[in-house]
Structure 1
Amino acid sequence: MSDAKPETSNSRRSAASIAIAVLGFAATLGVGFYAGQWIKETWFVPAADLEEGVRFRADLRGDEPQIGPNDALVTIVEWSDFQCPYCARVSAPLKEAIADYPGDVRVIFKHFPLAGHAQASPAARAGWAAHQQGKFWEMHDLMFANQRALLDADFNKYAEQLGLDVARFDKDRNSSEANTAVDSDHKSGSKAGLSGTPYFLVNGHNYNGALPAKQWRQIIDYELKAVKVLQDKGIARDQIYAELMKDAKATRGGGGGAQGPAKRRPGEPDPAKTYKVPLDARPQHGPDDALVTIVEFSDFQCPFCSKVNPALEQVKKTYAGDLRLVFRQRPLPMHPAARDGAMAALAAHRQGKFFEFHDKLFANPSDMTKPTFVAYATELGLDTAMFELDLESAEHAQMIKDDEAVANKLGARGTPAFFVNGRFLSGAQPFESFAALIDEEKAKAQKLVDAGTPRGQVYDKIMADAEEKPGA
C-alpha cells in the first residue's frame, strides 16, 4: 500500500504559481535586457558624424566578395584585416544594420592586411581562396572568431569544416592569383586614403572604425535621402552607384585641397600641415638643391615598404634633378631581423653603396643573416673587412635609434611613411598620389626661388615655419 499523499488543488495551484513566477521573472529579464539595449543605443551611443560633400571612388575589379544585390541603393566598400580587433568588432553591428534595409544595401569586401599583423596577409589569401569556392563570408566569420588561430593548419581546418575542396583551397591560397588580388585591394585602399582598418566608403563617403549599429543606420538613411533625389530625376536603381561616382575623386589622401583633409588619430600627422623633418646626413638620392625633398621612414622586412619601391623609382625618374629622397630607418618590432638589415644597409652606406644594398635587402627580406650581408657586400665590391666591422658599429646603432625617435615624434607609427617637403603621406601609395603632392610642393618651392631664395636653401626655408610635431 502506498504512503504517497494525493495531490491537492492547493498544491497544484502552488506549482502553477511558481511556474508563472519563474516565467514572469524570465520575461522580465528578457524585457529588461532589450529595454536596456534600447536605452543604451538611444541615449548613450552618440549620433553618427555624417560625411558630406566630396565622394571618393573605390577601385573595384568586380570579383570581390559581396553581400546584397548589384542594384543596391547604398554601396559600402569595406577594407579590413583579419587580425585587427576593431575589424572583428564592426562585423556584427554592420550586419545588424543592413538587415533592416533588405535589397537596398550591399557590402563589398576588400583586403587590407596591416604591416603589424604577421598572419593578416596569409588570412587574406585564405579568404580569397574560400571565395573561389563560394564560401568567403563563412570563412570570414570563422577567422574573425578565431583571430589567434590563423596559421596554415588552422586555415585548412576551417576549409574542411566548411566542406571545401581542401587541396584546391590550399593551392589557391598559395597562388600568385591570390597575391595579385590582395595586392590590388591594398592598392585601392591606399588610393582611397586608408590609414587604418576597418575603413569604409559608403556611396563614396569615407568612414573608419568599429561603428555601432545605430550609427550605421543613420549613415545608410542619410545616403538613401541623397539617392532619392536621383531616383526622382529618373535614374534607374542599377545606375545609382555609377551616377554617384561620375564626379567622385579618384584618390584621397596626401593632404587638403579639393579632397579635404583625411581623418586622423590623435598624435598622427595631419597631411594638410607641414612638419619639421630633419635630414641629419642620412642616405640620399638626388641633389642637395632639389625643390622637393621626400623623407622616407622604412623597414627592410615590411612588405608594404617593398611594394612602394616601384612607385618611388618612377618618382625619381619623373622628377630627376628636382627631387631628393632621404632614407631613414624605422625597423618595426614585429620584424625581428629588420634592425640587422638596417645596420647592414648603413654599413654599405659608409662605403657609398646604400641604395644598391637597399635593393638587395628588399629583394630577399626573408634572409637577413650576416653571411648573406657579406655576400651582398662582395657582389657590390665593398671592402668586406671594413663592412663586417661596421655591422657592429655603435654609431650606426645610435643612428637607427635617432631615426626611430624622429619617427615617433612625428607620429609616423607604421611603414612606409613619407614626408614630402614636410607633408605627410602614409603607406604604399601609387605613383599618382606621390605625383599630386610633389607637383603641389614643387610649385610652392619654385615661388620661393622666384622670390629670391637660393634652391639649396628651399628646404631650410620651408622647415623654418614648419610645426615641430602633430597636436593631440
Structure 2
Amino acid sequence: MSRRAIAAVAWLSLLFVLACSSALPPPPPDASQAKSSGAPARQPGPAADPGATLDDEVMVADGDPGPVPVTRADPARGSRLAPVTIVVFSDFECPFCKHLGGTLRQLEQRYGAERLRVVWKNFPLAFHKQARPTAEAAMAVFAHAGPRAFWAFHDAIFTADERLSPEVQATALRRAGVTPGQIPQLVQQSGAAQKVAADMALAGRLGVNGTPASFINGVLLVGAQPAERFAEIIDAQLAAAQALRAEGTPPEKIYAALAKKNFAPPAEEPDDADDEESDGGVVHLVPVGDSPVRGADTALVTMVLFSDYQCPFCRRVTPTVEKLRAQYGDKLRVVWKDHPLPFHPRAEPAAELAREARAQKGNDAFWQANDRLLASEAALDDAALEAVAADLRLNVNAVKRAVASHKHAAKIEADVDLADDLGAQGTPHFFINGRSLVGAQPIEKFQAIIDEEIAKAEAMVVAGTPRAKVYEAIQKQAVPPAPPPKVSVPPAPKGHPSKGAAAGKVVIQAFSDFQCPFCARAAATMDELIKAFPGKVRVVYRHLPLPFHPEAQLAAEAAMEALAQKGPAGFWKMHDLLFKVSDASNLDRAALEQHAASLGLDAARFAKALDEHTHRAAVEADAQAARSAGITGTPGFVINGYLVSGAQPLAKFKKVVRRALNEAN
C-alpha cells in the first residue's frame, strides 16, 4: 500500500479518537493494518512533495501531545521539531483571519521553518455560511494532495482581493491542483467533515469562541493582533525552549512541555452566564464627551459604540442598532466613537469625512454621513467620499482638505486612546451603561442587557435621580481604566547614545536588538515621537541582543565602537545602517566592517574592538537591566517608568508620553 493510502487510513483512525476524547491518537498503522481497516485510500492526486516521507508530510506528534494537540491530521508549515508552534483556529470567511494569514507569513519568514511551525485548525463560525463547506473542502484537499496543496488553497483564499465566494473557492481549488467537481467525492472519502467537527469540538474544550484564536506554545492570543505582539511571545518561548534544551529535554518534547506549562484552562462559567459579555457585568468608565449622539440626554440607557467604517462586522451590526433605537425610543441613546483599525486604510479617511460633515452642518449631518458610510454597498475610496460630501451638500473642497490634512485626527486619536484604555481591541465594541458587549451579536444579546439596565435606571429615577443624570450617576460607580504597567530600570550610564531633547521631561529607554525587524520599525516610530513632542522627549538606546539572533551581539558591539570613535552622531549613523536590513547578511562580520569603512571609522581599531569584545560588558549591562525589569523580548520601551512592549502604533506611544508629561509637570 502507498504512503498516501497509509496516511489516509491513519487520518480516519485519528478522527474517531479526536471526536471522542482528547487522548493521544494511535500510531500510524502499517500496511497490513490499513488493509484490514476498511478505510478508503486517498484517490491519486498531485503530490505535495514527491520526495517527502510520511512524517514530513503529516507532521506526526511525538509523545504526550499536551493540551493543544498537534497531530498528523493537521496541516502545518515548519519543522515538527521547531521550538515554537502556533496552533491557529481559523475561518476562511473571517476577514480578521485573512489579515492574520499575512501576519503569520511575515512571522514565518522572520523566524524560519526550523524555529517556527504554524498549524491550522478549523473553526468556521455559524454566521459565515460559506466557511464550513470551505473548511471541509480544504481538509479534503489536504487528504488528497498533501500539505503543499492545502497551503496553496489556503493562500489563494487569504490573498484574494475579494471576499470568499464560490468563484474564489474554485480558483483556490485549481491552484491546489484539484477541480471543483472532485470535492464532493473527496470530502466523503477523506472524512473531512469529521475532521472539521473534531477541530470545532477541541476549540470548545480550549475555550475558543471566536476567530482567529492562536495558541503559541499554549499561550492564547485572540484576534488579528499585530506581528509585534506575536513576536513578543515567540521570542519569550524561544528563550524558554532554549532553557529546556539546556536541561536535556529532547527537541520533540519541547512543544508539549511548554504548552502544558503555558496553557490556561478556560474558566468555568455558570449555566446562565452570557459568554459574549467579556467582563461579567463590570461597569467601565466610558465618558460621552463631545462625541456624536443619537437620542435624548434623558435616555435611561447610553450605548457607546466603538466602530470602524471599513469593518464588515460594524456594517453588519448597523441594522441591529437601528432596530434597537426603534424598539426602545427615548429610553436609548447611541454614542459614536471612532476606532479605525490600523489594517483598514480607508477607515480613518472615512472618519475624517463624517467628522467634517459634523463640523460643517452639525450632528444631523454627521449621522447622515455615518449612515452612508456604513451602508453594505458603500465604497470608501476618495471618489466615493467626495460623492458622499456632494450628496450631503457639504463644501467638497473643505472635505478634501480635511481628509488630506487629517484635520480631525486629534479627536479620532482620543477615541482610539479611550478604546485602548478600555481594552476594546477590535470592532464593533459596545458599552451599554458601561457594560461591555463585543462584536456583531444577535439582537437578543443587546436586549437582555438593555432591559436589565432600564430596570436599574427606573429604580434610580424613583429613588430621586433625574433622568438626565442617570448615566452620570452610573459612571460615578464605574471601574476606571488601569494605567500602563510600571517597571524599575536604572538610568543608562553617562554618555549612552540618545537623541531628542537633552533635558526632556520624558525619557524613553528603548531596549532593542539589531537583528529584530520590529525593532527597526519601532526606531522609525521613535523619530516620529520626538517630532510630535518637540523639546520634551529624549530617547536613549539600550541593547538587548536576543540569544537566538546570532549576529545581534556583535552588531551591538560594533555600534558602541562607532560611538567610541565618532560620538553620538557616529552611533546613530551606524544604528541606521544596521537597521537598514535587519537580517544576518547585513550584520555579519564582513558587513560590519563595510559599515565602519563607510562611516570613516579607524578600521584597525574597529577590528580590534570586535576581536577583543571591548564593548561586551556595556552591552551586557544593558541586557541585565532589561532582564531585571522583566523585559525579555524586543523592542521594549520604558517611558518614565511605564512599560510598552513591542513595535506599537505611534498613537499608543503618544498616549503614554502624554500621561508621563502630565505627571512630570
- TM-score, normalised with respect to structure 2: 0.40
Give the deviation of 1:167 after TM superposition. 7.8
Q: Aligned residue for 2:651?
A: none
Match of 1:253 in 2: 276
Q: Would you say 1:304 and 2:304 are equivalent positions?
A: no
**Matched ranges for 1:346-365 at <5 A:** 346-350=355-359, 351=361, 352-363=364-375
Which of 151, 155, 165 is matched with 2:159 structurally?
A: 151
Q: CA deviation at 1:382?
A: 3.5
Q: CA deviation at 1:272?
A: 2.6
Cα distance per residue 1:326-369 (max 9 Å; x no partner):
00100111011110000011112221312221122122677323
CA separation of 1:274 and 1:143: change in aligned 2, threshold 3 A: farther
Residue 405 of structure 1 deviates from its aligned partner by: 0.9
Equivalent residue of 2:335, what SS? strand
Give the counterpart of 2:347 among 318, 338, 355. 338
> What is the one-letter code of the residue matched to 2:99?
A
TM-aligned CA distance change 1:413 to 1:130, over 3 Å:
closer
Return the letter of the residue paired with 2:384.
T
Which residue number corresponds to residue 449 of structure 1? 461
Cα distance change on mapping 1:214 and 1:429 into 2, 3 Å: farther
Residue 90 of structure 2 contacts residue 213 of structure 2 at CA under 8 Å; is this kept in 1?
Answer: no
Task: Give the alignment of 1:15-414 within 5 angstroms.
Answer: 68=15, 93-94=68-69, 96=71, 113=94, 115=96, 117-118=98-99, 128-129=133-134, 131=136, 135=140, 138=143, 150-152=158-160, 159-160=173-174, 164-166=178-180, 194=209, 197-198=212-213, 252-254=275-277, 262=278, 270-350=279-359, 351=361, 352-363=364-375, 367-384=379-396, 386-388=398-400, 390-391=402-403, 396-414=408-426
Aligned length: 326
Paired letter, 1:432: E
Alpha-carbon offset, residue 148 of structure 1: 6.5
- How much does 1:130 deviate? 6.3
After TM superposition, give the deviation of residue 436 of structure 1 in Å.
1.0
The separation in 2 between residues aligned to 1:360 and 1:396, in whole angstroms, is 19
**Does structure 1 retain, via aligned residues, the 8 Å contact 2:308–2:340?**
yes
| Matched residue type, 1:397 | A
Structure 1 length normalisation: TM-score?
0.55
Aligned residue for 2:282, secondary structure, equals: coil
**Identity across matched positions, percent:** 30
| CA–CA distance in structure 2, aligned partners of residues 143 and 280 of structure 1 | 53
For structure 2, list consecutive stretches of 5 or more residues without a partner in the other structure: 1-13, 23-60, 75-88, 103-121, 125-129, 162-167, 184-199, 223-254, 486-665
Q: Name 2:585's counterpart in structure 1.
A: none
The alpha-carbon deviation at position 68 of structure 1 amounts to 5.0
Matched letter for residue 292 of structure 1: V
- The equivalences for 1:4-15 within 5 A come to none
Aligned with 1:135: secondary structure?
helix
Unaligned residue ranges in structure 1 (runs of 5+) = 1-66, 76-88, 100-107, 170-184, 201-206, 223-246, 255-261, 263-269
Alpha-carbon distance in 2 for matches of 1:144, 1:132: 9
Quote the offset at 1:445 in angstroms: 1.4
Residue pair 1:300, 1:365 contacting (<8 A) in 2 also: no
State the one-letter code of the partner of 1:253.
E
Contact 1:113 1:120 in 2 (8 A): no
Residue type matched to 2:69 in 1?
Answer: L
Higher relative contact order (CA 8 A, sep 6+): 1
Q: Is the 8 A contact 1:304 1:428 kept in 2?
A: yes
Q: Note closer, same or farther for the CA distance 1:343–1:411 as it changes in structure 2 (3 Å cut).
A: same
> Matches of 1:91 and 1:313 in 2, distance apart?
46
| Distance in 1 (alpha carbons) for counterparts of 2:146 and 2:459 | 52
Cα pair distance change 1:284/1:273, threshold 3 Å: same
1:428 aligns with 2:440: yes
SS class of match (2:336): strand
* Alignment RMSD: 5.1
